[in-house]
């Protein structure tokens, strides 16, 4: 199938086919730019010659805002960056401030944080998998994914009252203790959730058309991925075995037995859209395993608020803390001047960095492939623009 | 049917108009049903309820949809070619409606009993391409243009295998008249073409006798393949998933009808649904016996009521047609979309060679048997 395209490309390159370029504006209001991303496409017929992404439609000056806020007040702002992974964002920020302050949080808090972060990872991957299916034209798996995401959001709602932006993981602790029956709810969810993975595998991931659409498309070689600073499923899809939860352990991730899912190019070339997609599918199961182990050794009782400082004034200094978000490495670079407000807070957003590679891997593909590639990068515009 | 109307209203222009508008009545009712079917079937497949607020179980949702579309502002973009822009949706609907003229709804009702019925069907449904091209070009929108270019390339390509498949059936029956093709399949379901065609001699409407015997069973695998090929081409010609590339939502917003609103959009929508039914009805006529009862007997015959037979025949055709419409909906909500080059590959490198191969084989068998 690709040889047809090669013939076309040869014809264009040799000048036998006279073609002219066309500029197509895709977004910020377009069904598959996942928000308000705008891509200026230079097209040769249906073939993408060049992509100029323009961002900033959702810029909210988060980093500057943070300078005017006290440390705990920044937490709700972190929710709004990657709004599909608010728990993970909270977690990363809390860790950064805690390390700056030198606080140890209670065992129970660590367990709750890890369970919440992994549930959030599953929820976020479900959205990524569903919308990726929708980008290539399969609508039904999207709704199956959203159905199961609802169960997770229900658990979050019961614990902290919010379904999307939680403001749950605070510096030194949590906003609330978990609700009664939390462990049972989570165990129930995992039991209900596992068949969905099989269902989505049957319906979408091993579908012949789906594989045709995603294999060999948007191939991101490992060295390119590393040089662009890609992280998360984007990097692992290219076969790089790198996960901060294992390689730079934070919280209590080193206590659990789980695998880092790495793309293997089973359906096409290593680092294609299908690999990135399947890394996410595999990671959901690994998250389930982490949650199950965490539930087994879950401390029955404990005060979740005992380590929350009354007054947060970190000593002068700076710190870079990174956590493995569903989309990759989320880094907080925090400078303290000893006052109650951060002097500077710089966020390294995985979506932004991952998006930067799109021009490189989409050139020469068709418009339809570009949509698939954009879907497989799985960006959240709230984080790209911050 | 015509004589029935004439007995009521006399032989005048009113009767003729009434006769011609019967398919329109059917089409409107069918479109309401199909819209409801689409939303409800997709909802059930996706673990949802679908519309529930408009009437019991949401059954009047399609009427609400139509009312909404009627009330919408009818926008013509400032830079559009106004004449072509306004003409396109009606041309598109016209081609779909005109195709219904040769569909035999029962042994008693066919709009125009043309001897070149299938040929007419192919020709008139190709007009839709012109309408799509007009819409895409006149909208003066790059997305519309891309959509219409894709649509034209797709529909024109898939007409080749579709026409080849029709040739296979025509070669076997020896008539282009759709009534003849249906009559050739009369009797129980094993006489349907998909099961190898008639098993004993049949007298066609034209007076020509079709010689047949149980040896026709060797056509069974060939015609089964032919049916699958026709259905795939039909899906592509009606721009349904997995071939909905011209209106690929995630890429082209909604393709050639991006700029249309209100009733003009509804016209495109209607013509898409009408085309779905036409493809399904032609599938039923060519391969599944058309209006023939699968049991070979009619309730009307038992009660000695010829009108009941006609009604039953109508029911069977519509039932078969709706079944294939349901299949289209089913496929749409199950499969992802192909890419434009894969679509062309499928057509030119798979369907066309196969349809030619089957045509050659069937032609050879028809001659020697």
Q: List the domain boundaries for chain A.
A: 62-361
**B110, B326, B296, B311: which is closest to B189 by C-alpha?**
B296
Q: Are B46 and A46 inside 8 Å of each other by CB? A: no
User: How far is it, in rounded angstroms, from Cα A54 to Cα A47?
Assistant: 20
Q: Are A140 and B253 inside 8 Å of each other by CB? A: no
Disruptive mutation site among B339, B343, B346 for chain A (greatest number of A CBs within 10 Å): B339
Q: How far is CA A61 from CA A31, A325, A344, in A?
A: 26, 21, 12
Give B247→chain A minimum CA distance, Å: 11
B350: closest chain A residue by CA: A1
Q: Does A1 touch chain B (CB under 8 A)?
A: yes
Give A16→chain B minimum CA distance, Å: 20
**A299, A323, A318, A331: which is closest to A249 by C-alpha?**
A323
Sign of the Cα torsion B156, B341, A372, B252 reads negative
For residue B345, which residues of chain A lie inside 8 Å, CB to CB?
1, 4
> Which one of A4, A143, A144 has the shortest CB-CB distance to B341?
A4
For residue A22, which residues of chain B lie inside 8 Å, CB to CB?
142
The CATH fold assigned to A62-361 is: Cytochrome-c3 Hydrogenase; chain B (1.10.645)
pLDDT tier for residue A161 given thresholds of 50, 70 and 90: confident
For residue A24, which residues of chain B lie inside 8 Å, CB to CB?
142-143, 146
Q: Which residues are A335's β-sheet partners?
A: A318, A344
Positions of chain B with pLDDT under 70: 1-3, 5, 246, 248-251
Q: Does A272 touch chain B (CB under 8 A)?
A: no
Size of interface A-B (CB pairs under 8 A): 87
Query: Does pLDDT of A1 surpass 60?
Result: no
- B25: tokens are 């009545």
**B61, B45, B49, B57: which is closest to B330 by C-alpha?**
B45
As a whole number, the mean pLDDT across chain A is 86
Q: Does A31 touch chain B (CB under 8 A)?
A: yes
For residue A31, which residues of chain B lie inside 8 Å, CB to CB?
249-250, 253
Q: Which residues are A50's β-sheet partners?
A: A42
Give A11→chain B minimum CA distance, Å: 16
Query: Does pLDDT of A202 surpass 70?
Result: yes
Query: Does pLDDT of A133 surpass 70?
Result: yes
User: How far is it, in rounded angstroms, from Cα B144 to Cα B142?
Assistant: 5
Q: Does A24 touch chain B (CB under 8 A)?
A: yes
How would you classify the pairing of strands A47-54 and A169-170? unpaired
pLDDT confidence of residue A153: 92
Q: Who contacts A244 (Cβ-Cβ below 8 Å, separation ≥6)?
A: A250, A322, A323, A324, A329
> Which one of A5, A46, A136 has the shortest CB-CB distance to B336?
A136
B335: closest chain A residue by CA: A138
> Which one of A30, A136, A375 has the shortest CB-CB distance to B337?
A136
> Which one of A30, A144, A207 has the shortest CB-CB distance to B335?
A207
pLDDT confidence of residue A2: 57
**B105, B239, B218, B116: which is closest to B166 by C-alpha?**
B116
Angle at A76 between CA A70 and CA A81, to 5 degrees: 115
Disruptive mutation site among A34, A202, A209, A362 for chain B (greatest number of B CBs within 10 Å): A209
Q: Are A372 and A365 in contact (CB under 8 A)?
A: no
Give A289→chain B minimum CA distance, Å: 27
User: How far is it, in rounded angstroms, from Cα B40 to Cα B55?
Assistant: 14
For residue B251, which residues of chain A lie inside 8 Å, CB to CB?
32, 367-368, 371
User: How far is it, in rounded angstroms, from Cα A310 to Cα A71?
Assistant: 12
- B262: tokens are 């209100």
Q: Are B339 and A207 inside 8 Å of each other by CB? A: no
Q: Are A145 and A129 in contact (CB under 8 A)?
A: yes
User: How far is it, in rounded angstroms, from Cα A205 to Cα A133?
Assistant: 9
pLDDT confidence of residue B14: 80
Q: Are A368 and B344 inside 8 Å of each other by CB? A: no
For residue A135, which residues of chain B lie inside 8 Å, CB to CB?
250
Give B239→chain A minimum CA distance, Å: 13
Query: Does pLDDT of A67 surpass 60?
Result: yes
* Predicted complex ipTM: 0.81
Burial readout B61-94 (b: 16 or more C-beta within 10 A, e: otherwise) = bbeebbeebeeeeeebbeebbeebbbbbbebbbb
Q: Does A368 touch chain B (CB under 8 A)?
A: yes
Q: Does A132 touch chain B (CB under 8 A)?
A: no
Q: Are A371 and B251 inside 8 Å of each other by CB? A: yes
pLDDT confidence of residue A364: 84
> Which one of A134, A143, A144 has the shortest CB-CB distance to B250?
A134
B343: closest chain A residue by CA: A1
pLDDT confidence of residue B363: 87
Percent of chain A with pLDDT over 90: 8
Q: Are B204 and B138 in contact (CB under 8 A)?
A: no
For residue A371, which residues of chain B lie inside 8 Å, CB to CB?
250-251
For residue A134, which residues of chain B lie inside 8 Å, CB to CB?
250
User: How far is it, in rounded angstroms, from Cα B99 to Cα B124?
Assistant: 6
User: How far is it, in rounded angstroms, from Cα A211 to Cα A279?
Assistant: 14
Q: Does A195 touch chain B (CB under 8 A)?
A: no
Disruptive mutation site among A4, A136, A216, A364 for chain B (greatest number of B CBs within 10 Å): A136
Give A64→chain B minimum CA distance, Å: 35
pLDDT confidence of residue A257: 87
Q: Are B251 and A32 inside 8 Å of each other by CB? A: yes
- Backbone conformation region of residue B12, classed left if phi is above 0, alpha if psi is from -120 to 50, else beta: beta
B248: closest chain A residue by CA: A137
pLDDT confidence of residue A3: 63
Query: Does pLDDT of A135 surpass 70?
Result: yes
Residues of B with a Cβ under 8 Å from any A Cβ are 42, 45-48, 142-143, 146, 241-242, 244-245, 248-253, 333-342, 344-345
Give A326→chain B minimum CA distance, Å: 23
Q: What are phi and psi of A161, to 5 degrees?
A: 85, -10
Q: Does A42 touch chain B (CB under 8 A)?
A: no
3-state secondary structure chain A: CHHHHHHHHHHHHHCCCCCCEEEEEECCCCCCCCCCCEEEEEEECCEEEEEEEECCCCCCCHHHHHHCCCHHHHHHHHHCCCCCCHHHHHHHHHHHHHHHHCCCCCHHHHHHHHHHHHHHHHHHHHHHHHHHHHHCCCCHHHHHHHHHHHHHHHHHHHHHCCCCCCCCEECCEECCCCCCCHHHHHHHHHHHHHHHHHHHHHHHHCCHHHHHHHCCCCCCCHHHHHHHCCCCHHHHHCCCCCCHHHHCCCCCHHHCCCCCCCCCCCCCCCCCHHHHHHHHHHHHHHHHHHHHHHHHCCCCCCCCCCCCCCCCCCCCEEEEEEEEECCEEEEEEEEECCCCCEEEEEEECHHHHHHCCHHHHHCCCEHHHHHHHHHHHCCCHHHHHC
For residue A368, which residues of chain B lie inside 8 Å, CB to CB?
245, 248, 251, 337, 339-340
3-state secondary structure chain B: CHHHHHHHHCCCHHHHHHHHHHHHHHHHHHHHHHHHHHHHHHHHHCCCCCCCCCCHHHCCHHHHHHHHHHHCCCCCCCCCCHHHHHHHHHHHHHHHHHHHHHCECCCCCECCCCCCHHHHHHHHHHHHHHHHHHHHHHCCCHHHHHHHHHHHHHHHHHHHHHHHHHHHHHHHHCCCCHHHHHHCCCCCHHHCHHHCCCCCCEECCCCCEECCCHHHHHHHHHHHHHHHHHHHHHHHHCCCCCCCHHHCHHHHCCHHHCCCCHHHHHHHHHHHHHHHHHHHHHHHHHHCCCCCCCCCCCHHHHCCCHHHHHHHHHHHHHHHHHHHHHHHHHHHCCCCCCCHHHHHHHHHHHHHHHHHHHHHHHHHHHHHC
The 10 Å Cβ neighbour count of residue A333 is 16
pLDDT confidence of residue A123: 92
**A106, A39, A101, A79: which is closest to A164 by C-alpha?**
A79
pLDDT tier for residue A122 given thresholds of 50, 70 and 90: very high
For the entire predicted model, the pTM comes to 0.85
For residue B252, which residues of chain A lie inside 8 Å, CB to CB?
367
> Which one of A1, A143, A210 has the shortest CB-CB distance to B48?
A143
pLDDT tier for residue A126 given thresholds of 50, 70 and 90: very high
pLDDT confidence of residue A139: 85
């Amino acid at each position: 199938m690709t040889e047809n395209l090669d013939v076309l490309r040869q014809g264009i390159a040799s000048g036998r086919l006279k073609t002219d370029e066309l500029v197509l504006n895709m977004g910020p209001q377009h069904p598959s730019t996942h928000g308000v991303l705008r891509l200026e496409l230079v097209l040769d017929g249906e073939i993408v010659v060049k992509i100029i992404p323009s961002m900033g439609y959702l810029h909210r000056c988060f980093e500057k805002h943070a300078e005017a806020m006290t440390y705990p007040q920044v937490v709700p702002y972190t929710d709004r960056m990657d709004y599909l992974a608010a728990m993970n964002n909270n977690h990363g920020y809390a860790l950064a401030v805690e390390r700056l302050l030198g606080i140890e949080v209670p065992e129970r808090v660590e367990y709750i944080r890890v369970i919440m972060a992994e549930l959030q990872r599953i929820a976020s991957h479900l959205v990524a998998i569903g919308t990726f299916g929708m980008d290539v034209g399969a609508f039904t798996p999207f709704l199956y994914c959203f159905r199961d995401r609802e169960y997770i959001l229900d658990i979050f709602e019961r614990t902290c009252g919010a379904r999307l932006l939680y403001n749950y993981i605070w510096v030194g602790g949590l906003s609330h203790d978990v609700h009664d029956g939390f462990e049972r709810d989570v165990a129930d969810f995992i039991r209900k959730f596992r068949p969905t993975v099989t269902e989505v595998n049957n319906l979408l991931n091993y579908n012949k058309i789906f594989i045709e659409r995603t294999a060999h498309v948007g191939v991101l070689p490992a060295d390119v991925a590393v040089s662009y600073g890609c992280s998360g499923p984007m990097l692992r899809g290219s076969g790089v075995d790198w996960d901060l939860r294992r390689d730079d352990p934070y919280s209590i991730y080193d206590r659990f037995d789980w695998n880092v899912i790495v793309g293997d190019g089973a359906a096409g070339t290593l680092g294609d859209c299908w690999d990135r997609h399947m890394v996410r599918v595999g990671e959901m199961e690994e998250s389930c395993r982490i949650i199950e182990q965490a539930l087994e050794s879950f401390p029955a009782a404990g005060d979740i608020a005992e380590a929350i400082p009354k007054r947060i004034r970190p000593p002068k200094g700076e710190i870079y803390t990174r956590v493995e978000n569903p989309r990759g490495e989320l880094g907080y670079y925090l400078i303290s001047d000893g006052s109650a407000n951060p002097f500077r807070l710089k966020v390294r957003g995985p979506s932004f960095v991952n998006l930067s590679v799109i021009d490189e891997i989409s050139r020469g593909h068709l418009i339809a492939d570009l949509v698939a590639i954009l879907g497989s990068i799985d960006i959240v515009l709230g984080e790209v623009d911050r | 049917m015509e004589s029935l109307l004439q007995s009521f209203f006399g032989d005048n222009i009113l009767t003729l108009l009434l006769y011609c508008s019967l398919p329109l009545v059917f089409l409107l009712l069918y479109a309401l049903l199909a819209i409801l079917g689409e939303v409800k079937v997709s909802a059930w497949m996706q673990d949802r309820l679908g519309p529930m607020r408009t009437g019991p179980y949401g059954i009047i949702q399609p009427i609400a949809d139509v009312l909404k579309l009627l009330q919408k502002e009818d926008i013509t973009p400032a830079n559009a070619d106004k004449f072509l822009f306004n003409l396109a949706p009606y041309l598109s609907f016209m081609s779909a409606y005109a195709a219904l003229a040769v569909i035999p709804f029962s042994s008693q009702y066919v709009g125009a009993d043309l001897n070149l019925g299938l040929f007419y069907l192919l020709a008139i449904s190709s007009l839709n391409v012109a309408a799509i091209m007009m819409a895409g070009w006149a909208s003066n929108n790059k997305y519309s243009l891309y959509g219409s270019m894709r649509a034209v390339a797709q529909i024109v390509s898939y007409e080749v295998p579709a026409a080849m498949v029709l040739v296979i059936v025509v070669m076997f029956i020896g008539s282009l008249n759709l009534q003849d093709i249906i009559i050739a399949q009369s009797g129980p379901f094993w006489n349907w073409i998909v099961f190898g065609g008639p098993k004993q001699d049949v007298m066609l409407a034209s007076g020509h006798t079709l010689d047949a015997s149980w040896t026709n069973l060797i056509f069974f695998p060939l015609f089964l393949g032919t049916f699958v090929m026709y259905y795939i081409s039909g899906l592509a010609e009606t721009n349904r998933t997995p071939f909905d590339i011209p209106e690929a939502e995630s890429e082209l917003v909604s393709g050639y009808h991006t700029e249309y609103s209100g009733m003009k959009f509804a016209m495109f929508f209607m013509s898409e649904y009408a085309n779905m039914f036409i493809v399904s009805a032609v599938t039923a006529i060519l391969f599944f016996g058309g209006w023939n009862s699968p049991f070979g007997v009619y309730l009307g015959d038992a009660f000695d009521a010829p009108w009941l037979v006609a009604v039953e025949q109508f029911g069977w055709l519509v039932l078969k047609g709706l079944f294939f419409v349901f299949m289209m909906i089913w496929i749409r909500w199950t499969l992802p979309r192909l890419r434009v080059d894969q679509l062309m590959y499928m057509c030119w490198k798979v369907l066309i060679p196969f349809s030619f191969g089957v045509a050659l084989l069937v032609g050879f068998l028809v001659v020697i048997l």
